[in-house]
Structure 1
C-alpha cells in the first residue's frame, strides 16, 4: 500500500505567483469597494438623520454592513495564504470560506435586520407629517448610486478578465454586495420619491422592507455557498473526470476502484484514489510507479497538490 503525499514540482511556483497576482487584484477590488462604502455610509447616515428618512437610514446600515464585510474579506485574503504547518498540514485555504460566511452573517444582522426595523418603526411612528429635507437625501443616494455602480463595474471587470475569479468567494461577495447596493439605492430613491408625492410613509417603509428582504436573500446565498465549501466539496466534475481518465490511461493501472476529491482552497485540492495495479509487477517497482503517476497528476493540474494512491491489489511477480 502507498499513501505518501507528493510535493508540488518546481513549476508549481509559477501557479503560486499567478495566485498571488490574482489576490493582489482582488485586494484592490475590495479596497475600492471599502473606500466607497465608508464614504457612502457616512453620507447616508448624515442625510438619513437630517431628513428622518427610514429608507435612507436602511441604506446607511446596508453600507456599514458592506464596509465591515470588506474588512472580513481582506482578512480572508491574508490568512488563507499562510503556509501549511503541523496543525494544518493541508494549509489554510478554507479560511476564505469561513470569513465569507462571517460576511454573510454581517449582511443579515447589520443590514437586513436593521432595514426591517426601520420599516416597522416608520409605520409605527407615522404622524402624517409632510417629509422634509428629502432633497439632500436624494442627492446623497444619487452620488451613492454612481459610487456603488463604479465599484460594481470594477468587480465585474475582474470577473471577465480573470477566469478563476468566478470561484473566489471574496470577489463573488463584492459583486453580490455591490449589486445589492445598487438595487437598494434604487429602492430607497423610489420609496422616498413616492413618499414625497403621496405623503404616505408606507411607500418608504415598503422600500425598507424590500431592502431588508434583498439583504437577507443575498446573505442566505453567500452563506450557503460558504457552507458547501467548509463542509468539503469535491472538485469540478470535469476535472474529476479528467483525473480519472489520466489514471485509467496508465499502463500499470488495471482499474480505478475509487476516486475521492476535495477542494482545500482556491488553488488547492486533495486527490485520493484506490487503484488496482496490473498483475506481475515487481514490488520494488511499485513505489517508483506510484511516484511517477502522482507527479504526472500534479504537473498536469497544479491545484491537485495533495495526491494519495492506495494500492488495493498488486501481487509481486510470480505471486497468485
Structure 2
C-alpha cells in the first residue's frame, strides 16, 4: 500500500491557496474517459476509519466491473484528506460532514458525491471512556479534566461538546488534546489523559478493556443517522468526470451490500486487520453501518450545531454541499 499524507490548515490564506490548487489540479491532470476498453484510473483516499467497503470493492472486483482501475491510499484526518484532494494527490477522498461544511463555507470548490459510514441510531460505534477507578462517572465530572480527540478543533467533537453543554458543563473547562485513535488506549491506561473518544474498530478495542468505563455515547444521541465519513471530489474534477463519479458510486453500492451481509463478516475483519495492522481478534466487534444515501435533515441539524459552537459562520446549505446526483434519504 502507498502511504501518503499532508496537512490542511484551515484559515483564509490557506483556503485561497487551496482554491487555486484545486483549479490547477483539475486543469493539469484531469481523468480522461476510458478509451479502447481501458479502465479509468482513479486514486481514492480513505480515512483511518470506515475504510472496509472501499477495499472490498477492490477485492471483490466491483471496481473492475465498473471499468475503474482504483489505487487506494490510506489518509489521515478529514482536514489532511482535504489537503491532498486540493493538491491533486487524490481524485476522490473521504472527508467528514464537519470538514465539508467548514471547507465549503470558505468557498473551497468541493462536492460530496455519496455517503459511506454512518452513525447508527441503535448501535454505538463511538463513546467517551475513562479509567474505571478515576471517579468520573458522567460527562459533568470532566470539569478540569483532559479529554483526547482524534483531532482538536474538528467538528467531529461537537457531539461531546453538546453533551457537556447539556450536562451544564462549559466546554472551556475541559482541556482538549489531539491523539491518533491508535494511541488513545495507552494514553488512558498511563493516565496521560482522563478521557478518550475513540471510534469504529478502535471503539471496540477500548470497550473490551475491563479497567475502562464508558460514560457517554454523544454521537448516537446527537448525530444518529449522520454520515461519519463521506466521499468528496472537487467541483472542477466533477465537471469533467460526472460519469466516473456515477461508476464509483455504483461499485461502492455493491461493496456496501457485500459488507452488510453477515455471511461476509470474516472478509470485513480481514480487511480491518490488514489495514490497521492489528491482530484479527483485536478488530472483531460491532460493524459501523454503511449507506451511500445521505440524510439531509440530520446533516442540517449538525450544520446548525457547528455554527452554534463557533466552528463555522455562514455555512452553505445541505443542497449546496451535495452533488445534485448524490444519493439522499
TM-score (norm 2): 0.25
Q: Larger C-alpha radius of gyration, 1 or 2?
A: 1
The structure whose residues are more often helix, as a share, is: 1
TM-score (norm 1): 0.25
